[in-house]
Structure 1
Amino acid sequence: MKALIQRVSEAAVQVDGVQIGQTGPGLMILVCAMEGDTDTNANALAAKIAKLRIFKDDAGKMNRSLLDTDGGALVVSQFTLAADTSRGNRPGFTSAASPAEGERLYNHFANALRKLGIPTGQGQFGADMKVSLVNDGPVTIWMEL
């Protein structure tokens, strides 16, 4: 699985002008299931992100995790993270999981975060979403498991 995580002070997602997910301080997580990914990959990525020490401690150093800060997460499906731009000018997405498997793993990933005790909002798989966020730092990290 691939993820782009951003430390945020707030983030929200809308579909057809209606806000369907949000978080306060925490993480905005764009996630993509790749061909061959399993529940194990989704669980491992959720655990890694939950424990990633990218929040400031009392000394101002990035030394605290999402679990340490009681922060939340907003998870949005983003199949374009699978883009292959090695040939031509039009990206290819054949390495992404099939839509049905991608949606299943996307939901599994979000539920894995919830099971770790992280309040988790979600976008709508396959929808045309409008995402807004305030990147804190900015801190943006690419992850692949």
Structure 2
Amino acid sequence: MQALIQRVSQAHVTVAGRETGRIGAGLLVLLCAERGDEQAQADRLLAKLLKLRIFSDAAGKMNLSVQDVAGGLLIVSQFTLAADTSGGNRPSFTAAASPELGLRLYEYFVAQARQLHPQVATGEFGADMQVTLINDGPVTLPLRVATG
């Protein structure tokens, strides 16, 4: 399971002109489930995400987590993170979880995030989404936990 994390001053997602999620300062989480992933990978990724120290402290050092700063989480499904671009010019997505597994793990991840963090917004799994964000820093980091 993997995610691309962007520290944002604000972000929102819309589907067909309807806003499905919005946060102020916090993290935009582009989340990808891969073949073989299970709830254990989602749990480990979420634990790492919530404790990742990428917000500035009073001295300007990245020393605080999203929980420390009471920031929001905007979690958006993003199967294209599993792309393999090593052969040819058309990406392959064979490493991505099936839509059924992807949906199950996405919903699980969001439910667990809502139990552990007070401010969680989402996109809509499988939808054509438009994500608008102001990347703060910019700070953009990949997070990955191994299957198994």
TM-score, normalised relative to structure 1: 0.98
Deviation at 1:78, TM superposition (A): 0.4
Shift of 1:7: 0.2
2:97 alignment counterpart:
97
Give the aligned partner of residue 133 of structure 2.
133
Runs of 4+ in 1 over 6 A off after TM superposition: none
Structure 1 residue 107, shift from structure 2 partner? 1.3
- Tell me what 1:30 maps to: 30
1:5-61 CA distance string (max 9 Å, x none)? 000010000000011111111000000000000001001101100000000001110
- Residue 87 of structure 1 corresponds to which residue in structure 2? 87
TM-score by length of 2: 0.96
Q: Where does residue 15 of structure 2 map in the other structure?
A: 15
How far apart, CA to CA, are the structure 2 residues paired with 1:62 and 1:75? Answer: 22
Alignment of 1:102-121 (within 5 A): 102-121=102-121
Structure 2 counterpart SS, 1:66? coil
Aligned Cα RMSD in Å?
A: 0.7
Deviation at 1:110, TM superposition (A): 1.5
**Mapping 1:34-45, distance limit 5 Å:** 34-45=34-45
Deviations 1:96-135 (A, max 9, x none): 1100110110111112211112411010011000000000
Residues 47 and 113 in structure 1, CA contact (< 8 A), matched pair in contact too? no
| Count of aligned pairs | 145
The letter for the 2-side match of 1:31 is L
Task: Tell me the percent identity.
Answer: 57
Structure 2 regions of 5+ residues with no counterpart?
Answer: none
Question: SS state of the match for residue 125, structure 1?
Answer: coil
Distance 1:113 1:50 in 2: 9
What is the rounded CA distance, in whole Å, between the counterparts of 1:96 and 1:118 in structure 2?
Answer: 29
